[in-house]
Amino acid sequence: MKIDIEGNSVEFENNLNVGEILCKLKYDNSVIGALVDGELRDISYQPKKNVTLVPVRENSKEGLDLIRHTAAHALAEAVQSIYPNTKVTIGPVIENGFYYDFYTEKNFTEEDLELFEKKMLEIINGKKPIIKKIINKNDALSMFGKMGEFFKEEIINDLDDNQEISIYSQGNWFDLCRGPHAPNTSYIKAFKLLNVAGSYWRGDEQRESLQRIYGTAFFNKKDLKKYLLMLEEAKKRDHRKLGKELNLFSITEEIGPGLILWHPNGATVRTIIEDYWKNRHMEAGYQIVYTPHVAKASLWETSGHSEFYRENMFTQMVIDKNKYEIKPMNCPFHIMIYKSELRSYKDLPVKFAEIGTVYRYERSGVLHGLFRARGFTQDDAHIFCTLDQIELEVDQVIDLTTRFLKAFGFSDYEIFVSTRPKRYVGSKDEWVQATNALKSSLKNKGLKFSIDEGGGAFYGPKIDLKIKDVIGRSWQCSTIQVDFNLPKRFDLNYISRNNDRLQPVMIHRAIFGSFERFFGILVEHYAGAFPFWLAPLQVKILTVSEEQLDYSDSLKKELDKIKLRVDIDKRNEKLGLKIREAEVGKTPYILTVGKSEMENKTVNVRQYGGKQIGEIKFKDFVSMMKKDIRKGDSL
């Protein structure tokens, strides 16, 4: 048997397992598994034919998967040893760790997690070898049947008859498991159980409800610590917490869940974003429109929302015997504006843009601050164009999108192109042309993208953009969707060069997705310390004593003239306190004025974060500010 390994091709006798092969090649035991023809395998895996073997060492992505899977088993053993009536279900590896779902009467608490951790530590320190055993279906069924592990029985029953069934044991404890695992428990050098949550067997709310324990594991304490710090950092940046602290927005019981009050500070930021948005869109040839928040039910029947989007729509209302719906989307309105006059091919593309507030019924459990609300405002636009114009239009949308993202501090993103699903409208040719247009726009710009095969909506292919924030989390915001469906439903047309009536294509697109969500992301991205052009309050003037009240007023007056957002802290408080509060409020520039500044016509400048610029002439500060304002404009 021939094994290709790290550039060498070596002949071996048959019936050797990966570990034995590696041993003969003098690999040490930092190798804990292997990619065999690209598939992650145990060290005990026995290749049946010539294969390519890539050793998986500690501290690799695959290595982490191995120990996390093993950690999940350690957790399951710990839980069953402490609460023997608990039934196990599944315990997979996930992006940043693992979880295990249990079926039990007991409600796991924080204290339980500590108990489990202690027990896990014993198991791990026991350095128990992990042994894989292949068994036949009948044995598997009777084995797990006897143990009363009925979820495992169900899994086994669902397996194909010819599928290999394996169990993995660590000491006396074992689990039905596909593997792969680390060679023994001691490779888990650092782990932590994070939280308990509810879940359902197979994600089905009709089935048994389970308790899920989330955890994570690493090869060393340092990595674990780093990860836990990241979680803490994320907690510190939580927009709901900062929203309260910085007085940006609120959600109150009196008004209702998922409905947002934008307080003056938040609204200031939003206004700046909206102004920026409108200006850039008008420059890019969009026409700004406004549309109502409700419309007759018949409009939504034509659009298909009543049928396909019903479960996300609020309850219908009846006005003067006519049925009305609150809008979950803006598209039908933009379509009606398109239809308000006869369009010529010379008019295309027509681009309508709206900062349009929509209302969607979201299940109560999924609401989450600004990220998932029931009333939110889309930065919506619809481009009506011909099939041939798609590429150029998408090109421009991408330019606009990347410019926006850069302006708001996001330069890292992933792009996905979703193609034709099984169920679709339009012709195959149209799909091919539109999909190719999307791809070639991206290619021409040298932007990398992945294909989500069959992931498109039934009405057309799309491009989705996921941005990465400063602590490495991804957020889906921008989307560009081609639509063959609505033009058909609304019988849209334009007069062609040959005087025919032809149907335009629609492109739905949003850059932020929603202002609420994007604002929430911004808050977390900047940890509440907005860049100068977005900061609700840009400059705070602090008086040292009462003597500077008039001087501070005169400064504010000058700064108002150049449209800065300025406040004076005139309170009868010590300077230290004023500084502290200005810093806590994350104000970009803090101007301290005392006796000396007043006499010299200067200000003492401190930037957010404690950076001292020192005492400078006030007129120099003004010209410095003028430059900073222009910076915002040029984004």
Least distance to RNA from the beta carbon of 117, Å? 17
Least distance to RNA from the beta carbon of 572, Å? 4
Nearer to RNA, 547 or 620 (CB): 547
378 catalytically annotated: yes
Rounded CA separation 260/275 (Å): 20
Rounded CA separation 367/237 (Å): 18
- For RNA, which residue of 1, 37, 81, 92 counts as binding (CB under 7 A)? 92
Nearer to RNA, 152 or 382 (CB): 152
Positive/negative CA dihedral, 515, 516, 522, 523: positive
Nearer to RNA, 205 or 320 (CB): 205
- For RNA, which residue of 170, 211, 330, 435 counts as binding (CB under 7 A)? 211
- Asked if 373 interacts with RNA (CB under 7 A), we say no
Helices and strands of the chain, counted as H and E runs: 19, 33
Nearer to RNA, 260 or 405 (CB): 260
Nearer to RNA, 87 or 280 (CB): 87
380 catalytically annotated: yes
Nearer to RNA, 402 or 604 (CB): 604
Least distance to RNA from the beta carbon of 90, Å? 4
Nearest Cα residue to 193 out of 289, 80, 280, 108:
108
Contact criterion met (CB below 8 Å) for 83 and 231: no
Binding mask 212-251 for RNA (x = CB under 7 A): x---------------------------x---x------x
- Pairing status of strand 350-359 against strand 287-288: parallel
Rounded CA separation 275/186 (Å): 58
- Asked if 264 interacts with RNA (CB under 7 A), we say no
Burial label, 312 (beta-carbon count in 10 A; 0-12, 13-18, 19+): middle
Nearest Cα residue to 242 out of 256, 225, 263:
263
**Window 17 to 76, contacts with RNA (CB under 7 A):** none
Contact criterion met (CB below 8 Å) for 18 and 52: no
Least distance to RNA from the beta carbon of 536, Å? 17
**Window 148 to 207, contacts with RNA (CB under 7 A):** 152, 155-156, 159, 163-166, 175-178, 195-200, 202-205
Least distance to RNA from the beta carbon of 36, Å? 16
**Window 485 to 544, contacts with RNA (CB under 7 A):** 544
118 catalytically annotated: no
Q: Is the peptide bond before 504 cis (omega within 30 degrees of 0)?
A: no
Contact criterion met (CB below 8 Å) for 182 and 130: yes
Contact criterion met (CB below 8 Å) for 214 and 205: no
- For RNA, which residue of 615, 616, 622, 629 counts as binding (CB under 7 A)? 615
Rounded CA separation 541/134 (Å): 74
Rounded CA separation 217/590 (Å): 44
Provide the β-strand partners of residue 377. 357
Nearest Cα residue to 538 out of 563, 558, 518:
563
Nearer to RNA, 170 or 604 (CB): 604
Q: Which range in 46-54, 314-322, 366-374, 506-514 contacts RNA by CB under 7 A? A: 366-374
- Asked if 107 interacts with RNA (CB under 7 A), we say yes
477 catalytically annotated: no
Catalytic position from the list 239, 360, 578, 606: 360
508 catalytically annotated: yes
Catalytic machinery residues: 331, 360, 378, 380, 382, 462, 508
